[in-house]
Amino acid sequence: MSADETAGDSAVPPGVTASDAVGARERRVTIGDVAAKAQVSKSAVSFVFNGRAGVGEAARERILEAAQELGWRPDARARALSRSRAQSVGLVVRREPELLSTDPFFPQFVAGVESGLSEVKYALVLQVVDGEETETEAYIRFAHESRVDGVFLTDLRTSDDRPAELVRLGLPCVLVGPAAPGQSDEEPIGLDDAAGIRRAVRHLFALGHRRIAHVAGAARYIHSDVRRRAWSEEIAELGLDPGPIIDADFTGAAGARATHELLDLARPPSAIVFANDLMAIAGMSAATERGIRVPHDLSIVGFDDIPLAPYIVPPLTTVRQDVFEWGRACARTLVDIVEGREPTPARLPPVEFIVRSSTGPARER
Amino acid sequence: MSADETAGDSAVPPGVTASDAVGARERRVTIGDVAAKAQVSKSAVSFVFNGRAGVGEAARERILEAAQELGWRPDARARALSRSRAQSVGLVVRREPELLSTDPFFPQFVAGVESGLSEVKYALVLQVVDGEETETEAYIRFAHESRVDGVFLTDLRTSDDRPAELVRLGLPCVLVGPAAPGQSDEEPIGLDDAAGIRRAVRHLFALGHRRIAHVAGAARYIHSDVRRRAWSEEIAELGLDPGPIIDADFTGAAGARATHELLDLARPPSAIVFANDLMAIAGMSAATERGIRVPHDLSIVGFDDIPLAPYIVPPLTTVRQDVFEWGRACARTLVDIVEGREPTPARLPPVEFIVRSSTGPARER
DNA sequence: CTGAAAGCGCTAACAC
DNA sequence: GTGTTAGCGCTTTCAG
């Protein structure tokens, strides 16, 4: 009857479950069994399963059949040991708790990586960490324990020890991040964030906006920096006065706070470009609270195009990247590298600029 | 100058990067090197690193020191082979692309799992798949290749072949899902979804609502079913007429569609309980579009408490679960199982009901 | 309490 | 072409 506000019901005593195949754990079927059944040597079987020539068609058939019937596949552990290759790659993700469940990058990137990996039968071992120390430790473990053959390096920072660290560890990697012109010798694989921001600024300019602010992401990340730079360069190119900029950290709270700060200015902007959708939406909400109408009084642009973007009021104008394909490309490149091939340059789809209703003509003064 | 609407800039020709430790790949340092340096046998080293008794304190010290200096750790592959245990567990996630990047469960669960796993030095191997076939194949590969010692089974379905399949494969697992009273013999580890929904319904009732609708999640999932049931049982318990219910699929589009359907009814509900936040927010948007004010004309409750929930207008009343702890508990249980221990029953925090401004008093008629 | 030796299951030289 | 054999690096039994 009462609508209690926050307290919770008591915990479910959660049951437990195992599906341990009971009974006498039968001996694992091995390559030897397959060889025996097919009446060939173990190496013949090995050859067939590694796609190497040197096995007659007849034998080959028998081997495949025997393996099929026995339900045998090469044991990844044994194979890893003898080939000195784990056939798996690692991804360590470092995230603040709040951003974890809202960040559209991580799940899509992982899905894309998987998609690229599964084609070549590589596995992805994932590690989520919450701090610098645990992150470094994760890479060290990956390397020393030979759990993975290579890793992805994401969320590149403006001053980043990790690439050097990985070289030291002898762990191959691909850098994942926006194209950062001349930032380092190693080119990351990435989409053109900057182009998206430029489009946003031009779009606002065309709508008559002359005072365009930016709410940036956490300053330590290269992708924050790339977006910030693109914004300021485009502003300059259009001959506008540099608009106000506020450093934030990608969280909703920071987006709201930054928006209030901007609106408190003596000369508040008529449009704001946010570094991600979460901040943009929180900012929109903050503005609405103050009686500022979007887009009538204030235009807002986000970045990411989260699935919710079309469904908020008003629907959010934003920048969309194909993160899935990005992940695929990274995966293929990493596999090429660990297998000693020259990576085929990835072709990534261009970023898109999605115009919805959170941007509109600048109001006449 | 022009604000082009959708076309993209051209793709960045993405550079490529390897940090292959160049030069003569020195021989890997092995347990033998450590043993030699510490002037003991290999088994002594092994014993120390496996926490087994039988090594004198002096030797122990020397061994640890030698390992430290050589930067040696047991090779995971070799260890896996000789102990017939991969020391890693698997998670296969099957998701429609749209839901992947918006689903708050997946990233938080993974983070929680990691947290539980890292304490015991297990690794998580992740696989994201997009269909039934690839999903089954993923489990088969995990099992036959001995890549993992056990798996998590999430998104339990009302009719689910996977548990049986896993028993057949001899792959231990934990079932991850809401407490489903008497649905099967194996109790899943999960939070009490139903309690959250019940709280929502009671809350609405207390506000004077008498016609409370439900927009359910995809029917094939147990968690959809649990929520649906909780809603209908609570309605019945309060002596209300069963409100309208619409089956949806957790996407924003479906949430909007369902909301329109409900509002088109001859006798539309005064409140709607959605099975997740994404549908709730899309529904709110749909209502607003039609000139229906939330919460003045229509109260809305979501489920999940995504980080955005407090930042939309009006802030969303919703149900929050501690998915991170849930993941931790599942991880610990799975490790207990694969190591042959009796799992210690997990204690999960209760679900919370978060009242914000998307719910309000029922309007007088 | 310590050391030698036999695998774990597969791959890849190298003879046949 | 096909089979034999020696590892991959660690764990673990079993004598010393």
Residue (of A164, A202, A149, A155) closest to A337 by Cα position: A149
**In this structure, are A309 and A330 located in the same domain?**
no
What pLDDT sits at residue A21?
Answer: 36
Cβ contact, residue pair A251, B307, below 8 Å = yes
Give the β-pairing of A318-320 and A352-354: antiparallel
**What is the maximum alpha-carbon separation in chain A?**
89
Q: C10 C1' – B166 CA distance, angstroms?
A: 25
A313 touches chain B (CB under 8 A): yes
pTM of the predicted protein model: 0.91
Where residue A84 falls (left for φ over 0; alpha for ψ -120 to 50; beta otherwise) is: left
Q: D9 C1' – B161 CA distance, angstroms?
A: 39
Residues 251-310 of chain B with CB under 8 A from chain A are 251-252, 255-256, 278, 281-282, 284-285, 288-289, 306-308, 310
Three-state DSSP at B293 gives coil
Segment A45-58 shows an average pLDDT of 88
Confidence band, pLDDT 50/70/90 cuts, at residue A13? very low
What pLDDT sits at residue B21?
Answer: 36
Three-state DSSP at B173 gives strand
Segment B244-262 shows an average pLDDT of 97
Question: Could you tell me if residue B285 is inside a domain?
Answer: yes
C-alpha A282/C-alpha B300 separation (Å) is 19
Confidence band, pLDDT 50/70/90 cuts, at residue A10? very low
C-alpha A113/C-alpha A189 separation (Å) is 13
Q: Tokens in use for B224?
A: 């959809």
Count of CB atoms within 10 A of residue B298's CB? Answer: 28
Domain hosting A328: range is: 88-190+324-338
Give buried/exposed letters for A203-228 (b at 16+ CB in 10 A, else e): bbbebebbbbbbbbbbeebbbbbbbb
Whether the ω angle into residue B361 lies within 30 degrees of 0, i.e. cis, is no
**In this structure, are B139 and B175 located in the same domain?**
yes
Q: Are A142 and A148 contacting, i.e. CB atoms less than 8 angstroms apart?
A: yes
**In this structure, are A317 and A205 located in the same domain?**
yes
Segment B98-118 shows an average pLDDT of 91
Question: What's the count of helices (H) and strands (E) in chain A, helices before strands?
Answer: 13, 10
Nearest nucleotide to A55, CA against C1' atoms: D1
- Across the interface, of B3, B76, B346, the residue whose CB is closest to A202 is B3
**In this structure, are B197 and B259 located in the same domain?**
yes
Cβ contact, residue pair A195, B9, below 8 Å = yes
> Which string of DSSP letters, residue by residue, matches B176-242?
BS---TTS-SSPPB---HHHHHHHHHHHHHHTT---EEEEE--TTBHHHHHHHHHHHHHHHHTTPPP
Residues 198-237 of chain A with CB under 8 A from chain B are 199, 202-207
Question: Could you tell me if residue B152 is inside a domain?
Answer: yes
The phi, psi pair for A51, rounded to 5°, reads 60, 40
- Strand runs (DSSP E) across chain A, as ranges? 88-94, 123-129, 151-153, 173-175, 212-216, 245-247, 271-274, 299-301, 318-320, 352-354
Instruction: Write out pLDDT tens, residues B7-32.
Output: 333 332 233 333 333 333 467 899 99
Confidence band, pLDDT 50/70/90 cuts, at residue A12? very low
Segment A67-79 shows an average pLDDT of 92
What pLDDT sits at residue B185?
Answer: 62
What pLDDT sits at residue B246?
Answer: 98
Count of CB atoms within 10 A of residue B290's CB? Answer: 12
Count of CB atoms within 10 A of residue A362's CB? Answer: 20
**In this structure, are A316 and A233 located in the same domain?**
yes
Please state the domain count of chain B.
3
Cβ contact, residue pair B106, A108, below 8 Å = no
Whether the ω angle into residue B314 lies within 30 degrees of 0, i.e. cis, is yes
Q: D12 C1' – B50 CA distance, angstroms?
A: 12
Question: Could you tell me if residue B94 is inside a domain?
Answer: yes
Q: C14 C1' – A44 CA distance, angstroms?
A: 15
A167 touches chain B (CB under 8 A): yes
C-alpha B278/C-alpha A125 separation (Å) is 29
Q: D9 C1' – B49 CA distance, angstroms?
A: 14
- Is the pLDDT at B70 greater than 50? The verdict is yes
Count of CB atoms within 10 A of residue B262's CB? Answer: 22
Cβ contact, residue pair A15, B78, below 8 Å = no
CATH code, B146: 3.40.50.2300
Q: Give me the helix-helix angle, B162-169 and B132-144, nearest 10°.
A: 20
Question: Could you tell me if residue B150 is inside a domain?
Answer: yes
Segment B203-226 shows an average pLDDT of 96
**In this structure, are B169 and B135 located in the same domain?**
yes
Question: Could you tell me if residue B101 is inside a domain?
Answer: yes
Domain boundary among B82, B97, B118: B82
**In this structure, are A229 and A164 located in the same domain?**
no
**In this structure, are B239 and B219 located in the same domain?**
yes
**In this structure, are B267 and B312 located in the same domain?**
yes
Q: Are B176 and B93 contacting, i.e. CB atoms less than 8 angstroms apart?
A: no
Give the dihedral sign, CA A30/A32/A37/A38. positive
Segment B187-212 shows an average pLDDT of 96
**In this structure, are A242 and A294 located in the same domain?**
yes
Cβ contact, residue pair B307, A118, below 8 Å = no
**In this structure, are B233 and B305 located in the same domain?**
yes
Q: What angle do CA A357, A362, B3 make, to 5 degrees?
A: 65
State percent of chain B over pLDDT 90: 81
CATH code, B42: 1.10.260.40
What pLDDT sits at residue B189?
Answer: 94
Chain A residues with CB under 8 Å of B348 CB are 11-12, 14
Indicate the average pLDDT of chain B: 89
What pLDDT sits at residue A365?
Answer: 58
Q: Tokens in use for B220?
A: 């094939």
Question: Could you tell me if residue B347 is inside a domain?
Answer: no
Three-state DSSP at B338 gives helix
Place of tokens 């076939």: B133
Instruction: Write out pLDDT tens, residues B307-344.
Output: 999 999 999 999 999 999 999 999 999 999 999 999 98
- Across the interface, of B16, B100, B203, the residue whose CB is closest to A111 is B100
Chain A residues with CB under 8 Å of B19 CB are 163, 166-167, 171-173, 186
Question: Could you tell me if residue B212 is inside a domain?
Answer: yes
Instruction: Write out pLDDT tens, residues A201-232.
Output: 999 999 999 999 999 999 999 999 999 999 99
Segment A92-120 shows an average pLDDT of 90
Q: Tokens in use for B141?
A: 């590969």
The phi, psi pair for B135, rounded to 5°, reads -65, -50
B76 touches chain A (CB under 8 A): yes
Q: Protein footprint on strand D: which nucleotides are under 7 Å from a CB?
A: 1-5, 7-13
Question: Could you tell me if residue B363 is inside a domain?
Answer: no
What pLDDT sits at residue B268?
Answer: 97
- Is the pLDDT at B127 greater than 90? The verdict is yes
State percent of chain A over pLDDT 70: 91
Nearest nucleotide to A72, CA against C1' atoms: C9
- Residues contacting nucleic strand C by the 7 Å CB criterion are A 27-28, 30-32, 42-43, 45-46, 49-50, 52, 72, 74-75, 78-79, 81-83; B 39-44, 53-56, 58-59, 78, 81-82, 84
Instruction: Write out pLDDT tens, residues A351-361.
Output: 999 999 999 99
**In this structure, are B78 and B7 located in the same domain?**
yes
- Is the pLDDT at A20 greater than 50? The verdict is no
Instruction: Write out pLDDT tens, residues A300-324.
Output: 999 999 999 999 999 999 999 999 9
C-alpha A74/C-alpha A83 separation (Å) is 12
C-alpha A306/C-alpha A126 separation (Å) is 23
Element (DSSP H or E) covering residue A141: helix A132-144
Indicate the average pLDDT of chain A: 89
Domain boundary among A82, A111, A140: A82
Instruction: Write out pLDDT tens, residues A249-280.
Output: 999 999 999 999 999 999 999 999 999 999 99
